Amino acid sequence: MASHIVGGEFELLYVKGNQYQLNLIYYFDVNNNGFNGQPPEQNEPTLVAYIFRKSDNARMMPVTLRFSEKTRVGYTQPSCSQGEVKTDKLIYTALIILPANTYSDPAGYYVAWERCCRNYTITNIFSQNPQNSINTAGQTFYLEFPPVSKNGVAFINSSPRLFPPLNDYACPSRPYYVDFAGIDDDGDSLVYTLTTPLNTSSAVAVPPVQPAPYNLINWRPGYDLDHITKGNPDLHITREGMLTVTPPPNVGLFVFAVKVEEYRNKEKIGESRRDFQMVVVDCKVASPPKIVGKKLTDASFIYDGAMNVSFSNQVADADRCIQVQVSDPDSENAADNNTENISLRVIGLNFKSATLNQILPAQLSATLVNGSTKDFRICFPQCPFLKSGLYQIGIIAMDDACSLPLLDTLKVNVYVEPPVNHDPYFVTATNVTGLVQEGDQASWPFEIRDDDGDELTFISAPSGFSFADAGMKVNVTTWQPGLIKGNITWDAYCDVYS
């Protein structure tokens, strides 16, 4: 009996019409290959899952998924790999047809596949060899999806996808973090919560797929959903999918599951389950970096942990800045050759912006030697990231510790007085009355200016009719920062607007 399951999940992706692609993402423990070293895709070239109707658990159809591809899950820092974690990502796939007249039950459907067994050395759940114990643990892969038709209208949806794996080991008593979130092609809202992993219906290698409800794994004494690792703090996932934990001071192998609920217009339409395991191993002793800050007018770096800065709208771009300094005690450690690599990144704490990285300098990394430090200059844009002018950022210093960089964060409350802004205006009259005889042509010029030289846009909004249907057209002759010029023409011919 193999003990190779690391975790995985289903994806159901819309293709066209009634065609969908069903994918099974299957994470395989290479170090515990129970197939006598044979690649798993050779031992299992196909898998058979089942689709059920949620309202009554009726079997809808089996789905044969064929092996498609295999990739090795890489480390965040490849140099940290000592073989402690060696995981392959296998993808099995099938193109399926979901007829609208068959898959229209309002309660929706689910697809499931059962496989045994998980690793036999798991710390937090009972997962023993079925040959000598009844305390076994497999995994039921599970995905809920909505009907493909609602009230006779096609309901197009793809499940969340591209969930990242847990590709690094954790260290005892050291903060661990990973973005465990996927994406949704339809723009649906995804909510993440931890949940108890599902077991299989029996301890055979490939149990016949049963309808819900499914067995849950059995926690070992002292462990439960609130104490998955007994860490301080314990394993936690934000509603946005960020997974964090500070593991206990002992090594171990910990299984967990994440429920991903999919919402559209505040209505739940689907649910994905992701199982995975986290390995905690002894790590080389390391100290986190230290980041401190100062205003340009300060003589020294006096801000540790947080700082507030404020800039008027008269400050020059070169002066709308702060400085931060990064140090790391490991740069004085002979075991590290008295060197330590550090780098810098920034995150928005109360906003999101695709251009936030532009506040960082061109050089974001350095090698500290014999206790040296590195200074970085952070400059803020004239237009604040929030209309109020007040926003919060986290400037994060990172080292290159294994398996994940150790961090220190300087929280900066920034107020930038928004620049003076004048409303754009029409140079030409805004209310024009014209009388055009049938068969004639007429033209009215317009000119829009902005004294601040800002980018301008405008909307043509006829009242109760269409410009095109009436033979009217808006022509732009000049469009540049601070200026738009053009004209509105009207060809008053009956054959145009009749």
- Nearest-CA neighbor of 117 among 130, 103, 105? 130
Q: Model pTM?
A: 0.78
In the structure encoding, which two tokens stand for residue 179, read together?
A: 């973005």
* Burial (CB count within 10 angstroms: exposed 0-12, middle 13-18, buried 19+), residue 75: middle
E-assigned strands of 4-138? 5-16, 19-29, 46-53, 59-72, 87-97, 109-115
Q: Where are the domains of the chain?
A: 5-280, 290-416, 425-497
- Nearest-CA neighbor of 326 among 354, 356, 289? 289
CA–CA gap between residue 236 and residue 343 (Å, rounded): 26
Backbone angles phi, psi at 37, to 5 degrees: 80, -5
**Residue reference for tokens 């980041």:** 291
Host H or E run for residue 43: helix 40-43
CA–CA gap between residue 456 and residue 436 (Å, rounded): 31
**Residue reference for tokens 């009355």:** 433
- Contact between residue 212 and residue 114 where contact means Cβ atoms under 8 Å apart: no
pLDDT in tens, the chain (498 residues): 556 889 999 999 999 999 999 999 999 988 877 677 788 899 899 999 999 999 999 999 999 999 999 999 887 777 777 766 788 999 999 999 999 999 999 999 999 999 999 999 999 999 999 888 889 999 999 999 999 999 999 999 999 999 988 878 899 999 999 999 999 999 999 999 999 999 999 999 999 999 999 999 999 999 999 999 999 999 999 999 999 999 999 999 999 999 999 999 999 999 999 999 999 999 888 999 999 999 999 999 999 999 999 999 999 999 999 999 999 999 999 988 999 999 999 999 999 899 999 999 999 999 999 999 999 999 999 999 998 999 999 999 999 998 889 999 999 999 999 888 889 999 977 788 878 888 788 888 999 999 988 899 988 888 878 888 888 889 999 999 999 999 989 888 765 545
CA–CA gap between residue 390 and residue 360 (Å, rounded): 18
- Contact between residue 40 and residue 68 where contact means Cβ atoms under 8 Å apart: no
CB atoms within 10 A of CB 479: 14
In the structure encoding, which two tokens stand for residue 231, read together?
A: 């860490």
CA–CA gap between residue 416 and residue 171 (Å, rounded): 41
In the structure encoding, which two tokens stand for residue 72, read together?
A: 């090795």
Radius of gyration of the chain (CA): 30
Q: What homologous superfamily does CATH list for 290-416? A: Immunoglobulins (2.60.40.10)
E-assigned strands of 202-357? 236-237, 242-245, 252-264, 267-280, 290-295, 303-304, 306-311, 321-327, 339-348
Which residues have C-beta within 8 Å of that of residue 335, sequence separation ≥ 6?
none
- Contact between residue 160 and residue 180 where contact means Cβ atoms under 8 Å apart: no
Backbone angles phi, psi at 139, to 5 degrees: -135, 135
pLDDT of residue 34: 66
